[in-house]
Amino acid sequence: MRPPVYADEFVAWLESQFPNAQTDLTRRIFYMLDNEPDLWPSTHSEIHPNPVTYAELVQKSVDFAGAIKGAAPKALVFGFASYGWNGFVNLQNAPDANNRDFLDFYLASMRTAEANAGKRLIDVLDVHWYPEAQGGGRRITEGGTSAAEVEARLQAPRSLWDSSYTETSWITQWSTQGPIRLIPRLLQKIATHYPGTKLSISEYNYGAGGDISGGIAQADVLGIFGREGLFASNLWLLGSSNAYLYGAFAMYRNYDGAGAKFGDTSVSAGTSAVDRSSVYASTLAGSNNVVVVVLNKQSTALRAGITLKHRASLATADMYTLTAANANPTRQASLTKVATNAFSYVMPARSVSTLVFRP
């Protein structure tokens, strides 16, 4: 029988094997404190048969984060990797909840722990988000593609930010009684209880990875994550068919098949009808190009008038699309301007388009 390996020993070994783990931004090692502790009594009943308490999870976070920081002082530590909404609210009905919001309690406790330890222990608040939104009585993560499920899936990303949108779910019916606004809600908790903490969604999926509706939702989510200031995210695959999820990533990261990507500086962009369309814009360092990703959530084509405020005169736009006909980005005919830095574009039905505007 092998002797036990302690957490700090494991971290020290990783840091020794990857000496650039905290300086190489493209291959940095992050440390996450376990996974979905709010569900331990059901997922790990052999070793944790009883419900996790507020006090227990805070103490475990302090102990293990302290051990990690002792072995790797510059490491970023993520906690607490909650499974979902009821974990955020009361740690899945923890016996010591006493009507206290768990995320508020956790963040405030970590702030106190920093003061006691003389160093920050938790750098990133991490949660999981598998939407509870329903269409036609079915949850969108089940992957169905009926008309009601598709419409619910296309609108569900709005629950990440939109104060005017209320999805159909048990969360909005019984908990929020209105819009979820997940990212602004969590960022406000951070600002109130532990400023400076970053935010991560390390598991999420909107279902139907093999359908254009899943691709549009994924592209919308990526744009929202960037615009709303999320620090990190990770797609968790739920099924074997995921071509449109990969296609959505490619519309930002490899739309031309040769590594061309969305810019490194976000640009303010908006649409007059968030229920029908979304738009995300960026610029590239050292270039006058503007890269824009636009989404048409409708089942029919949608004309878009695009006006860009830019110091350069933009004359043309390369165009790539993701549609029901092809799960990979497809090059289309270029657009030409109709006025100074103004373009008219007919978005295909249910599509993602990447437009690269050039002088």
Among residues 100, 84, 76, 71, the alpha carbon closest in space to that of 22 is found at 76
Instruction: Give the architecture-level CATH label for domain 265-358.
Output: Sandwich (2.60)
pLDDT tens, N- to C-terminus, the chain (359 residues): 677 878 999 999 999 999 999 999 888 999 999 899 999 999 999 999 999 999 999 999 999 999 999 999 999 999 999 999 999 999 999 999 999 999 999 999 999 999 999 999 999 999 999 999 999 999 999 999 999 999 999 999 999 999 999 999 999 999 999 999 999 999 999 999 999 999 999 999 999 999 999 999 999 999 999 999 999 999 999 999 999 999 999 999 999 999 999 999 998 999 989 999 999 999 988 899 999 999 999 999 999 999 888 888 999 999 999 999 999 999 999 999 989 999 999 999 999 999 999 99
Pick the CATH number of 7-253 from 3.40.50.300, 3.20.20.80, 2.60.40.420, 1.20.58.110: 3.20.20.80
pLDDT tens readout for residues 64-116: 999 999 999 999 999 999 999 999 999 999 999 999 999 999 999 999 999 99
The CA-to-CA distance between both ends of the chain, in Å, stands at 67
Q: Which of 9, 15, 36, 151 is catalytic?
A: 36
Task: Kindly list the domain boundaries of the chain, sorted by start residue.
Answer: 7-253, 265-358
How far is Cα 295 from Cα 279, in angstroms, rounded to an integer?
6
Is residue 36 part of the annotated active site? The answer reads yes
- The whole-model pTM stands at 0.96
Q: Say how many residues make up the chain.
A: 359
